[in-house]
Amino acid sequence: MNHALSRFTQRIASGSCAAVLAAAGSLFAAVAMPASAQAAPTLTCTITPGGTPSTTNCGTSVVNTAYNANFVVTGLPSGTYSYAWTATGALPQPISCSGSICNQALDADHQDVREKVQVVATNTATNATYTLSVRVGLFAVCGAYLC
């Protein structure tokens, strides 16, 4: 048994509740985060059907000729933002999204899809900008199989 755990159980057995509570409190204090801590802004992508959310590279293992890509910006400091979406690849330019959530149809029929999707979120009061990006990769599909 772990030495610290052994001491902890000995304190419980001896009835020293104050010592047990103090020990438990010190364990939780080590992992507590400051109230002001905030997650960094992220751009998450999920491909449907079959994809899982990713902040770096998104795709799916499901073979389909038509997919939907869902992009979501989260973690921005409070405020009102404008969004400018762009992509390098086959998506139309500019991407026709204006908010923090963007859905785009992707066609993998006989063609690979390789995109880098980027959004610039600008705080309308402070002009602070956040540039976020994610990569999309889908293999070409020919009928019911990968080409």
- Check whether residue 55 and residue 110 sit in a common domain: yes
pLDDT at 88: 86
Assigned domain for 89 exists:
yes
CATH number at residue 140: 2.60.40
User: Containing domain of residue 80, as a range?
Assistant: 42-146
CA distance linking residue 105 with residue 70, whole number of Å? 9
Does 30 score more than 90 pLDDT?
no
In terms of pTM, does the model score above 0.85?
Answer: no
pLDDT at 93: 63
- Domain count within the chain: 2
Give the model's confidence band at 25: pLDDT under 50 very low, under 70 low, under 90 confident, else very high.
very low
Give the model's confidence band at 140: pLDDT under 50 very low, under 70 low, under 90 confident, else very high.
very high
- Check whether residue 48 and residue 10 sit in a common domain: no
Percent pLDDT > 90 in the chain is 56
Give the model's confidence band at 37: pLDDT under 50 very low, under 70 low, under 90 confident, else very high.
low
- pLDDT tens-digit profile of 71-108? 999 999 999 999 999 998 866 666 789 999 999 998 88
CA distance linking residue 144 with residue 71, whole number of Å? 26
Assigned domain for 37 exists:
no
- Check whether residue 90 and residue 142 sit in a common domain: yes
Give the model's confidence band at 122: pLDDT under 50 very low, under 70 low, under 90 confident, else very high.
very high
